[in-house]
Structure formats: structure tokens, C-alpha cells
Chain A
Amino acid sequence: MLSKHVACVFGIAFFAIALAGCAVNQNVKAQGAGFDWSGTTEKRVAVIQPDIHLGELTAGGLVEPRADWTKAAQADVAKQLEAYFAKRKTSVVLVNDLSDQREVQLAKLHGPIGRAIIRHAIMGIKLPNKTQAMDWTLGPDAALLREHYKTDYALFIYVNDTYTSAGRAFLMVSAAVLGVSVQGGQQIGFASLVDLRTGNITWFNVRHDGSSGLRDSNGCKHFVEGILADLPK
């Protein structure tokens, strides 16, 4: 089991390193249609419980998951999301207890699709048979969510947030003295707005932040407002 677990942690670490090449704290937008409220009487969005992972970046560059930080951030981010949509006069259904097998699968599917969008549509590793059209999708099964929560759209959020441990900080300082740059903790998140009539991702945003984290309320507010900054109304 451990080897799988370590592979997973390494995967996230590599993902973080790969993204480190992008500009820090900059939103990268993928263009889509966004909301189309025509024909709907009420603006309603299902906000699927954000997939949040907080951890400590160890001296050796591994991410040690932290359950307490993660759980606190989950509650805090949910609160910030509610406040964000209240300001926009959009009602939200916060889905915090996914239990239906197929709904859980949809939520988990968002992770790999989001990473694929980052790799192929944003970082520019082109797929030979894929046009640059923004036609990524969770598939027609997304209709399950539409029936269950009576909304036409769902918002999926993934965020991986790492904090520099004391050991890592010491390594960074020592390396800097020797003229070598060592990566510290950072935050990588992405969000997708999905049209539940088709499952298509109509808006996508990725955010990379090296300065703020989800361990405090302000950081959560900063993250929610940042990642949804360009969400079409």
C-alpha cells in the first residue's frame, strides 16, 4: 500500500514542481461559455465539496498530509464560498456529503480532468489529436447531479496547499547561501464550472499562489475570491 501512497504524494509534488514554472500568483484562464441563465427562473449552483489537501513540505520535498488543517480548511472554504455567491445574488446548494456512488465518482473525476486541462490546454503539452478547443467534459452522467440538486450548473474545486516545514525552510536558506534555489510550500488550485445538462466544462481556472495559504480564514477568503475572480455572472 505504501508504495502506492508514496507514488501519489510524489505525483502531487511533481505536479507542484511542474507548475512552479508558471508565474506565481497568477490566474490562468481557459475560455468557455460560462453561465447561461436564459430560461432559468433562479440562479442556482451546486457547489460540490471542494477537494482540499493541506500538508507540510518536508525537508526532503515530500508532502506530509495534515488532517487537522485539511478539515478546518474544508469548513472555512465552504463558508467563504457561501459568502461569495451571496454577494453575487446566486443561490448555492453546498454539497458536503456526497454518498451516492456515481456522484462520488464524478467528484473524483474532476481531479484528473483538471490536471489534464492544466497539462494539455495551459502548459502547452499538446495532444496530437486534440484541437485547442475548450471541449473538456465530465460526461453526460453529470445529469445525475442536475436531477438531485435541481441546479443547471455545478462548481468543482481542487486545491493542494503545502506549507514549508522548519527543515525545508532551513534547507532553502542554506541552499540560497550556496546560490541554489529550493522550492518552498505553495498553493495550487483549480476550479471548473460544469453545465449539468451536458457535463461540459464551460469555465476553468487554475491558480498558483506562493504566498498565501488555507490555514487561516483570510487565506481561504483570498483563495475563493482569487480562483473565482473571473467566473462569468
Chain B
Amino acid sequence: MKPRAVAAACCLLLLTAGQDPAAARYIARPPPNLLPLGYQPPANTDEAGLWYEADQVEQKFRTSPALVRDPALNAYVKGVVCKLVPDRCDAVRIYILDVPYFNASMFPNGAMQVWTGLLTRIHSEAQLGFVLGHEISHYTHRHTINQWRLIRDTSGFLAFFTLASAPFTMGLGGLAASAIALGGIQGYSRDEEREADAAGLELAIKAGYDPNEAASIWKAQGDEEKADPLTDKDFAYFRTHPESDERMQTLSRAAAKAEGTEPIWIRNEEAFHAATAPFRASWLDANLALGKYEASLCLLRRLATEEPDSAQVRYYIGEVHRRRNGKGDAENAVAAYRQAIEHGTGVPTAVWRGLGIVAMKTGDKATARDAFTHYLAAAPSANDRAMVELYLSRVQEQNP
């Protein structure tokens, strides 16, 4: 045989030898193998390894300065978990972390992190129930271990493929195969998300939560993504999650099917609002601090229609305009602050400071004087008192 033929034969042999039969098994979707109650993976398995690493992350959550330790809020969220999966009430452990982005995620050992940015963006217990149900389904359907096995086996195959194809394709074969495989892995990941959407909705419906609430989460999220000019318009092929629009439509269809099967669906908007109200101001402060003003406005406008009586929401709308400081923002800020004040009850004191600053900038000294004076009277021990006094002296100096 010629040397080239020998090399080709060797490579072919390598290719077939490198093909772990496990890879094929996991690329085809396995039927859901629900985690048995009280399950602990056998110590010498890949699953035990992932659980162990997850235990380490969980320890980090438990001791994290970002952990929201408020007993009432934790009890409320935990209560929703117990309504969804009464038999796994203790197996699922919730960690609420003070992070202003929209996310919750599940670890294979039963630990779940819920970010406050998510709680800022939903408005009912039914929505919370759906999100928690989605995450719990990742856990009960053992998505982490399935995905790990896919990635492990695919990368193993790729290593052999890259090696075997290198002499003929100068490495480009391996690169192309890697791109295809990455797309496959992300596609699998999207499928798992779809499965968790469906299973989560099922849990929420079983608990009596209004299925229509699920789709509205993704509608709102899609709107916010579109409003934000900085949203990644990444290539769908490499996305780990299906697009918000797609999830919204699928869930709407699923909800329509369930429609009418329950006499009275639970939404529990009041209970959700009562549980989260004490934290809302700090969560919205954190949201505005991200500097994504278009996305913040989109969220706040939605909150304003949901809560037409909220002075707090109007105050934050004013704040976004004041901080963005673009064309027309001054007028919009003043209008929003005035609306907040007109609501009479629950008006944040800071509304006067905001109004004073915008009025000072636009040269409306009378309004600024009035607003700053009001602020100092309402919040005599504010930590920015000296600053506001300086502002006040400026708007007074030239107007004796």
C-alpha cells in the first residue's frame, strides 16, 4: 500500500473507534427519566460528580452577600414551590439573589437561584408558579446530566474526528464539525427549554394557576428585549434558549388548550404584590442603575398600566427620563413626577428631589425652590441633605 492509503486507513479506523456508542444514544432524545423522590446518585457516577460541584455552588449561595435572607419573602416563594410539587417541597431549595437581571436557574442537586430582576418583572403568583415550575422541571427531568453527557460524548467524538481528518482538511474538517456539533448541542439545549416550558406549565396548571399568565411573561420579556438597542441579535443557531416570541406563542397555544378546564384560575396578584412590595424600590433602583433606560421604560410603562394607582412607578418613570437626559426627557420627567405627586399616597420623598433637579436644569427656579424645600422638609435626615441644600442655595441666590 502507498503511505497515503495507509494514513487514510488509519484515520478511518480512528474515526470509527472514536465513535462512542453513548454519543448516538444521547443525541437521540431519551424519554423523560423523572428523578425518583429522595434520589441520590450513586457515588461513583458522573451524576454524583455534577451534584457535588452543584453542592459547592450552593454553599456559595448560602453564604453570598447577595442572598436575600428576608424570611417572609423566602417563605412566600417556598410556599409556591410546595403548591407546585408538594412531594418535592423540601428537595427543592430556593436561593433568592439580589441580581437585577431576568433569570432563574436550577442545579441538578435541587438548588435553584432566583434573581430579584425576575421578581421585579413578573406581576402575579401564577407567573411565579410557571417560572418555578419550569426550573423544577429541569431538575425532575435531569436535564443537566443529559446535557453533560451529550457535550462530553460529542466533544470526545470531535477530538477523534479532528485528529483523523486533519491530514486531509488541514484542520478545517474539525472546525466545521465543531460548529455543526455546537449547533447540535445548543439545539438540544433549546429542546430541553421547550420541554421544561411544557412540563412547568403542566405543574402550574395542576396547582390551579392561570395558564394565560405564562405566555405574558415571554411577551413582556420579548418587548423589553426589542426596546433595548443593546440586545444581542445573536445567530439563532447558537442560542441556548428559544426566542421569547416562540416561547410566548407555544405557551399561548398550550394555555388555550387548558382554557376552561378549571372553573376559577388562580392569579394571586395581590398576594404576589404584598410579598414583593417591601423590596420593589431597591429592585427598581438596581434596574435603573444598569443604564438600560429604554428597557427600563418598557418595563415601567407596563407596570404603570398594571398598577394605575402606583405613585412609585411614576416616580421611577420620571427618574429614567431625568437620568437619560435626552431630547424631551426633561418635560417627560416633570410630567411623570407631577403624576406621582397627584396620586397623593405612597409618594416617594425622592420625587421632590428629582423634580427640583430637572426644574433647576431647565431654569424653572420657582419650581426647583419649592421642590427642594419640600424634599428637605419631608426627609430632614436624608444623606444627600448637604447636596440638596447647595442646589437650593443656587436657585435662590440669583432670585432674591
Contacts and interface: CB of A to CB of B under 8 A. Distances in A.
Interface of B: 10, 14, 17-18, 20, 43-44, 46, 48-54, 57, 59-60, 62-63, 65, 105-108, 138, 143-144, 147-148, 151-160, 163, 166-167, 189, 240
Interface residues of A, number: 34
Binding site of A, secondary structure by majority: helix, strand, loop or mixed? helix
A96 to B, nearest CB: 14
A174 B12 CA distance: 12
A133 interface: no
Contacts of A59: 18, 20, 155-157, 159-160
Interface of A: 1-6, 8, 55, 58-62, 64-68, 70-71, 101-102, 104-105, 108, 167, 170-171, 174-175, 177-178, 180, 182
Contacts of B20: 59, 167
Given A59-B159, A62-B155, A65-B50, A2 B63 contact: no
Contacts of A68: 43-44, 48
Nearest to B152: A58
8 contacts: A2-B189, A5-B54, A60-B155, A64-B148, A65-B49, A65-B50, A68-B44, A68-B48
A8 B59 CA distance: 16
Which has the most chain B C-beta neighbours within 10 Å: A70, A177, A178?
A178
A171 B53 CA distance: 27
A64 B59 CA distance: 20
A6 B54 CA distance: 12
Contacts of B54: 5
A175 B163 contact: yes
A161 to B, nearest CB: 13
B178 to A, nearest CB: 10
Contact of B148 (A2, A108, A174): A2
B160 to A, nearest CB: 6
A6 B63 CA distance: 22
Given A5-B57, A59-B155, A68-B43, 18 more contacts: A1-B144, A5-B50, A6-B148, A60-B152, A60-B155, A60-B158, A61-B159, A64-B46, A64-B152, A66-B44, A67-B51, A71-B52, A101-B62, A104-B60, A167-B20, A171-B156, A174-B163, A178-B167
